[in-house]
């Protein structure tokens, strides 16, 4: 039986979401979540072995919506240059990461702690989706002769995605940088230099 998706599991996710929204993700512990849900900690841990796993479940619906929106946007913009589509995706990913950055740290901590159980961030759905999207766009650009020849799409995708660390996103927010400004810096620093000729009309893809 999938305990996570039974009635108790769904109630735990909803109560955790309420606590996270009220107090912030980092301020809430598993004991508080169990108390809010009216269950014992054993019941909670049978469904969610750690806070990271629970955070991932809370984020599931948001990430599914993000993936759906991404695929729709890329389909609608299929006729636009790759650099514009890639810039639009990175901006969407940046905004998503900034908005939900508090959830990412416990998720990554849980994955690292369970590495001995073959839990690997690079095999998790969020990473594989982001990597496939970015590397796919870069491969399309390479096939069209738009990408600089020294750029290897799969490596470039990994480097770009890895820069979206929760610590960096938190630092940017604390420094008072707007998400629009950060997006412009990503485009100028990481995206445009990979292309032989990058159109200046990048804002059309926003």
> Does the pLDDT of residue 135 top 80, yes or no?
yes
* Predicted local distance difference test score (pLDDT) of residue 118: 44
Residues facing residue 147 across a β-bridge:
195
Q: What is the CATH number of the domain that holds 182?
A: 1.10.357
Q: How confident is the model at residue 199 (pLDDT cuts 50, 70, 90)?
A: low
The residue length of the chain stands at: 206
Same domain, 129 and 85: yes
Same domain, 36 and 55: no
Q: How confident is the model at residue 202 (pLDDT cuts 50, 70, 90)?
A: very low
- DSSP state letter for 73: H
Same domain, 65 and 7: no
* Predicted local distance difference test score (pLDDT) of residue 4: 52
Same domain, 32 and 107: no
Domain of residue 38: give its range: 1-48
pLDDT, mean of residues 147-175: 90
Of the listed ranges 1-10, 66-75, 105-114, 192-201, the least confidently predicted one is 105-114
Same domain, 39 and 81: no
- What are the pLDDT digits (tens) for 86-122? 999 999 999 988 888 777 767 666 655 554 444 467 8
* Predicted local distance difference test score (pLDDT) of residue 156: 97
- What are the pLDDT digits (tens) for 24-63? 888 899 999 999 999 999 999 999 988 888 888 888 877 8
* Predicted local distance difference test score (pLDDT) of residue 60: 81
> Does the pLDDT of residue 180 top 90, yes or no?
yes
Contacts of 147 (CB under 8 A, 6+ apart): 138, 141, 153, 194, 195, 196
Contacts 24+ apart (CB under 8 A), 70-77: 70/133, 74/133, 77/205
According to the 3-state scheme, what is the secondary structure of 126-160? HHHHHHHHHHHHHHHHHHCCCECCCCCHHHHHHHH
Same domain, 30 and 101: no
Q: How confident is the model at residue 77 (pLDDT cuts 50, 70, 90)?
A: very high
Same domain, 120 and 81: yes
User: Which of 28, 48, 68 is where one domain is finished?
Assistant: 48
Give the number of other CB atoms < 10 A from CB of residue 181. 11
Same domain, 86 and 175: yes
- Torsional sign, CA 99, 100, 101, 102: positive
User: Which of 48, 68, 83 is where one domain is finished?
Assistant: 48
Phi, psi of 120, deg, nearest 5: -135, 120
pTM of the full structure:
0.76
CA-nearest of 53, 47, 40, 56 to 3 is 47
Structure tokens that stand for 100 in this block:
């939900």
Give the angle 140-142-148 at the CA atoms, nearest 5°.
145
> Does the pLDDT of residue 3 top 60, yes or no?
no
Same domain, 38 and 71: no
Q: What is the CATH number of the domain that holds 37?
A: 1.10.10.60
Structure tokens that stand for 166 in this block:
């929760």
Q: Which residue has the higher pLDDT, 9 or 108?
A: 9
User: Which of 32, 48, 64 is where one domain is finished?
Assistant: 48
Are the C-beta atoms of residues 160 and 52 closer than 8 Å to each other?
no
Question: What percentage of the chain carries pLDDT values higher than 70?
Answer: 85
Same domain, 200 and 116: yes
Same domain, 143 and 184: yes
Distance CA 82, CA 141 (A): 6
> Does the pLDDT of residue 206 top 70, yes or no?
no
Total domains in the fold of the chain:
2
Same domain, 26 and 61: no
């Amino acid at each position: 039986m999938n305990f996570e998706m039974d009635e108790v599991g769904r109630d735990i996710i909803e109560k955790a979401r309420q606590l996270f929204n009220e107090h912030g993700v980092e301020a809430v512990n598993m004991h508080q979540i169990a108390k809010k849900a009216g269950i014992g900690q054993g019941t909670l841990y049978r469904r969610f072995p750690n806070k990271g796993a629970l955070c991932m479940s809370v984020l599931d619906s948001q990430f599914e919506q993000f993936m759906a929106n991404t695929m729709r946007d890329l389909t609608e913009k299929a006729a636009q240059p790759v650099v514009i589509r890639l810039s639009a995706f990175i901006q969407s990913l940046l905004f998503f990461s900034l908005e939900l950055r508090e959830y990412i740290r416990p998720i990554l901590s849980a994955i690292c702690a369970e590495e001995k159980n073959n839990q690997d961030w690079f095999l998790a759905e969020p990473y594989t989706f982001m990597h496939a999207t970015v590397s796919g766009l870069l491969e399309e650009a390479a096939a069209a002769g738009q990408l600089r020849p020294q750029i290897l799409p799969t490596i470039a995708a990994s480097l770009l995605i890895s820069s979206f660390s929760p610590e960096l996103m938190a630092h940017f927010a604390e420094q008072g940088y707007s998400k629009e400004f950060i997006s412009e810096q990503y485009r100028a620093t990481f995206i445009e230099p990979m292309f032989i000729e990058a159109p200046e009309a990048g804002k059309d893809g926003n």
